[in-house]
Structure 1
Amino acid sequence: MAKTYSNINDAKATVQDIRGTAAGWTLTVAQNAQFKTSDDTELTGAQITIKTPTLDTASTATATVDQSLVLTTDNTAHKIMGAAAGEGNGTAIADMNTGSVTLDVPGKTVKVAKDYTTMLTWNLADAPADN
């Protein structure tokens, strides 16, 4: 049976740009590999989705948040939030509310009663986003 697991708490990604240059920036996330157990049993076909993050009202910076993305297991960087040149000074908060981050596991995937882990790599680039 296919199963979807959701975050049970709000998740936030915060960028505070205090350089004063308004040069812009880009925040990305990449999934390095598929979920695996400590003995390398893979959770084949499992997929993380980040749905409709929003720019938190407490943000003081001008930035954009990508509306929905599916992480791939090939270490491809996906933009979460960014500020174009001339923007981004201050604090920008991407709010991923309860239930908006999901892990979908196909029903046909063989599952074992062990802990599965993966690595997410977050990168903040000193490069303006192409909003």
Structure 2
Amino acid sequence: MSPVASEGEHVDGVRDEAFVAEHTAGKPFYIAISYLLVSMECLIGAAYTKRVQAAGLTGAARPAMGRLDAEFADWRIGRFFHHARLWVGRSFALDYTPKSLEKVRDGKPWHAARATRAVIKDSAFGLVSRRT
């Protein structure tokens, strides 16, 4: 996020072509996301979790995992997330291995790992957007 624009300006700006052109990095936004299609977990004590609790969307506590089960306010998002979780379950190892290599390599090996992850992310985005 730009240090001179507020969060609200960024939210509004995504629909403004001039704002987008001024702030673009020239890459798809999802390239910078560590793990695509993974939802935000309700970690016990987190500010986000408190908002989910206030909305009455939390369920059983899972203390061993440090989180609370939660439902999405919109059932359609929950349904989408169910299918996204299936994708993640099958592709996580494919992404985790090159991500691990990025942490310990530099130069050509780092770029090769990054390029591999870009292919995986493009595939995930294609799944979501029905792009082939």
TM-score (norm 1): 0.21
Q: Please identify which structure carries the higher strand content.
A: 1
Q: Please identify which structure carries the higher helix content.
A: 2
Structure whose alpha-carbon radius of gyration is higher: 2
**Higher RCO structure (Cα 8 Å, ≥6 apart):** 1
TM-score (norm 2): 0.21
